[in-house]
Structure 1
Amino acid sequence: MSEQRKTTYPGGFPAILAQMEGRRDPFTYHEGEALAPLETDFAALKQQYMLAEAPEMGDSRSGYARKYRALAEEFAGRSALLHLHGLLIAHLRRRAQPSHTAALFQRLWVEEADYLMDYLDARWLVSAATTFGDHGANEVQRSVGHALSVLFGMMKLYETERLFAAVTPDQPHPWRKRSSPTLAMEMDAFAVGGAGGLDVNMLGRLWQQGSEDPVIAPLVQRLLTLLVDDDKTVFRRLHIMRARKAKQRQEAGKEAKPQRAVPADRRKVIAPVPEGRSGQNDTRRWGIVSLIKAAPRDVLAFAAYHLDLGAHHLHIYLDDPNPEAAEILQRHPKVTVVTCDDSYWNAQKKPRMKTHRMRQVWVATQAYNSTDCDWLGHVDVDEFLLPEGGKPIEEMLAEVPEDHLGLMLQSADQLEAPGPDGGEAFKLTHLAAGHKREVLGRIYSTLGSHLPGGFIGHISGKLFLRTGLDGLRFGIHACHWQAAQVENITNMTGSYIGHAHAASWPQFRKMLEFRLTRGSYQRAEDNDRLQLGDVIDLVLEEGGEDGLRDFYNEVNGGGPEQRAALARYNMLIDYPLHLPERMVRIFGNEAKVYLG
């Protein structure tokens, strides 16, 4: 072999190893400095919070002190246990470290795995997996740790390079003819449009092998779940490309080949009910989580309504600063208010997510993992619990079978016209009332019968879940556990989630442009059926603004004829919310300012 051949790394592997080993010198210590002992009290460290300046290190300039300060700055305001975890990983990356370092790392993951996974971001979880690869207590830990280290290391390399491509990380490349039939080292390309199982086999084997060891299993499953749920990875992009190719084949009259793997969003799982959450005693404390961007009056009305129903706690995340509402809410002992400004997202070690839905899912999951409630519902600011006959929510929750993780409340859309007593009125879908779709044609004269359930709001309903299930991801209309959608959910009848999605014509018109371009009316490209956005486009094209108003009146006006038709099929609910009275009852005279 010619010595003049080109190589990516001049000097070859001797130079690679020299560069790698040059960064692994052991830490130096000054007198009195030492890594925490093996018998360290973890409970005490969880109650101790780090200061960015690390005054406990004095003016020491040892290698240990420098790393200690760097991690103290990163974990400022967070527990000393997380700081210790970072120190252990830093030490175990060196050629030598105190003799008890690996044992302390192992003990930390044996005793505090749940805490670490709740409060460490994905970057630190990957670092932990890499450390298991080098210092695992058995072959499974070392093998899986090394495999995850290689997987995420290669992802970081190729995803970084892809940042220079013309498409964003969450966008797959368009289908086109490949420039070369083979890859580097003469490997065949992955069969994106066929039944290639490289991705499934790789992820599946890691999951299976990692599950064999009780210490590393929770870490492996959390990392792999985060991986398959992320929309900015090669796995998601290949999945989208595969689906598009299958659709192209079907449109061309060709039969698409069956895929070996069921996409994550279609897999189902029976989730376990957390210990102590299966009896009726667990219904005493229920709460709500909501990400909100709304006027102060709407925020206070939402909070007052559910507090007046008996909520044990409300977790309210303000998507934009709302100081007027926050000032009133945070004085209530049953409300936790979090303003999701730049400082909040910086503290999460992640950029502010680009869509409202992604942020909703994130904060709902955070609240689920931290709440002291027995049940938690994920509800929007324009949604209100409508328990059957006004019965206590605790009684509603007690109806859920003990082996079900939660319940789904079906949607009821608020009508513009009030009920007979001047209070709010809502309509149901035909399915909620037990009818076939044909009844929609008898209620809605023209285009309303083409909408899902005759609704212009969502028909998917909202979830209430028993809390305490580790690894659960709380979504908007569903929840996921172990990378699959939870199936043991009770579909409740009689009680509903009242949705003030378009409770008035001005509200509907004001939100229309946003919903068409960035919100719930956007067209789903993988859905060939007539969608709400298509209907509205058609209405505006043929009838203009007057036609749009006629359309709204037809589906949501709540006039006498519509009310009579809905009532005929048991699809009408008169359910006064009494929002002004509740606001004053819960928040006192301060709320009256917003009732003008």
Structure 2
Amino acid sequence: MTDEELTYPGAPKSLIDTWMRRRRRLSIRPGEGLPPLDVDLKALLATPVAAPEPLELPASLHSNKLHSMRTELAGKSELAVLNAILISHLRKSWFPAVAPHLFLRLWTEEGAALMAELPGRWLISSVITFGDHGATEAQRRIDLSMNVLFSLVKIYEYERIHTGYTADRPFRVWSTSDKKLPLGMPGFALVGGGLDVNLLAPLWREALAEPVAGALACHLLERLNADPGTLFRRVGKMRDAKLAALAAKRAAAAAAILAQEAAETAAPPPPPEPQDLGQSDASQP
């Protein structure tokens, strides 16, 4: 197969090279950097972020990123900014030694406060970061799964925007028996199938058993469940529509049977058969 026939020409090398370039370390100049591991998290949580002054140029990648985050998170707490800059460093191939330990301390001690404060995109970035830097196998396993889930949701919902459909509008239910899915996969059984349940239930069950990264995963799954504009909600509406159509079809069939039985009951009885007169006369003496 030629490169022209591939979605990603030159893969896997081309993909890995691109990924590694994006993981280039954030340069840090003298006097810059992350706070120590024993920084007062309560004080940071109580300190709101002011809109930053214009950035002096040239600036390090660390300073550029920090300025951007202060602009985005103005009005939130300094703890939110610290979480964001930690994530930015931890996504790179090199990061300050304190970064993973400080990230874990943030979420172990102030996870509930961060869940209440952070926008959805930073909650998702946080849970994805546990996938590489979780303290336990359970944390890493749960959050690698969350990375796959939310990455695919983002890609799919971006494509859905270009259909012109609003996020809460389900597609019409068509017959798909003659349609093919990639790699020869069988079709999704809208009524009898449980692909969405099989995807979410094991992940949610594992998350319920993990108190730090799992708590964050549960929080995000609850928000996903409550959001009316997701693939899962639209599939649910499509399932409900098909079930309603099947129920209406069964009810119509049952009503037709009852109507037929009622018509047969109300019909007059057939007239009696006439007697055979010849046979009757022969019986006379």
Specify the alignment match of 2:173 in structure 1.
Answer: 175
Specify the alignment match of 2:49 in structure 1.
Answer: 50
Quote how far apart the aligned CAs of 1:178 are: 2.8
Residue 82 of structure 1, aligned match among 80, 84, 105: 80
Code of the aligned partner of 2:40 = D
Specify the alignment match of 2:275 in structure 1.
Answer: none
Equivalent residues in 2 for 1:218-229 (5 A)? 218-229=215-226
Gaps of at least 5 residues in structure 2 are 253-285
Code of the aligned partner of 1:31 = P
Q: Deviations over 1:289-340 (max 9, x none)?
A: xxxxxxxxxxxxxxxxxxxxxxxxxxxxxxxxxxxxxxxxxxxxxxxxxxxx
Code of the aligned partner of 1:223 = L
Structure richer in strand, relative to its length:
1
Separation (CA, whole Å) in 2 of partners of 1:247 and 1:179: 20
Instruction: Identify if the C-alpha distance between structure 1 residues 254 and 143 changes in structure 2 by more than 3 Å, giving closer, same or farther.
Output: farther
SS in 2 for 1:253: helix
Q: Deviations over 1:516-563 (max 9, x none)?
A: xxxxxxxxxxxxxxxxxxxxxxxxxxxxxxxxxxxxxxxxxxxxxxxx
Q: TM-score with structure 2 length normalisation?
A: 0.84
Separation (CA, whole Å) in 2 of partners of 1:218 and 1:61: 37
Specify the alignment match of 2:108 in structure 1.
Answer: 110
Separation (CA, whole Å) in 2 of partners of 1:251 and 1:3: 52
Q: Deviations over 1:467-494 (max 9, x none)?
A: xxxxxxxxxxxxxxxxxxxxxxxxxxxx
Specify the alignment match of 2:127 in structure 1.
Answer: 129
Specify the alignment match of 1:233 in structure 2.
Answer: 230
Quote how far apart the aligned CAs of 1:3 are: 3.9
Q: Deviations over 1:219-267 (max 9, x none)?
A: 1111000111111111111111111111111111179xxxxxxxxxxxx
1:248 and 2:245 are equivalent in the alignment: yes
SS in 2 for 1:213: coil
Quote how far apart the aligned CAs of 1:51 are: 2.6
Structure 1 residue ranges, 4+ long, deviating more than 4 angstroms after superposition:
57-60
Quote how far apart the aligned CAs of 1:78 are: 2.0
Quote how far apart the aligned CAs of 1:180 are: 4.0
Contact 1:52-1:69 within 8 A present in 2 as well: no
Specify the alignment match of 1:190 in structure 2.
Answer: 188
Structure richer in helix, relative to its length:
2
Q: Deviations over 1:369-402 (max 9, x none)?
A: xxxxxxxxxxxxxxxxxxxxxxxxxxxxxxxxxx
Contact 2:107-2:212 within 8 A present in 1 as well: yes
Code of the aligned partner of 1:49 = P
Specify the alignment match of 2:267 in structure 1.
Answer: none
Equivalent residues in 2 for 1:266-277 (5 A)? none
Code of the aligned partner of 1:77 = G
Separation (CA, whole Å) in 1 of partners of 2:92 and 2:11: 23
Residue 205 of structure 1, aligned match among 197, 202, 207: 202
Gaps of at least 5 residues in structure 1 are 256-596
Separation (CA, whole Å) in 1 of partners of 2:33 and 2:4: 49
Q: Deviations over 1:136-179 (max 9, x none)?
A: 11111111111111101001111111111142111111122338
More contact order relative to length (CA 8 Å, sep ≥ 6): 2
Separation (CA, whole Å) in 1 of partners of 2:3 and 2:47: 59
Identity fraction in percent: 37
SS in 1 for 2:250: coil
Specify the alignment match of 2:26 in structure 1.
Answer: 27
Quote how far apart the aligned CAs of 1:34 are: 1.5
Quote how far apart the aligned CAs of 1:76 are: 1.3
Code of the aligned partner of 2:7 = T
Quote how far apart the aligned CAs of 1:198 are: 1.2
Quote how far apart the aligned CAs of 1:37 are: 1.1
Quote how far apart the aligned CAs of 1:54 are: 5.0
Contact 1:133-1:145 within 8 A present in 2 as well: yes
Q: TM-score with structure 1 length normalisation?
A: 0.41
Contact 2:45-2:77 within 8 A present in 1 as well: yes
Instruction: Identify if the C-alpha distance between structure 1 residues 54 and 101 changes in structure 2 by more than 3 Å, giving closer, same or farther.
Output: farther
Code of the aligned partner of 1:131 = T
Specify the alignment match of 2:91 in structure 1.
Answer: 93
Q: Which has the larger radius of gyration?
A: 2
RMSD: 1.8
Equivalent residues in 2 for 1:294-305 (5 A)? none
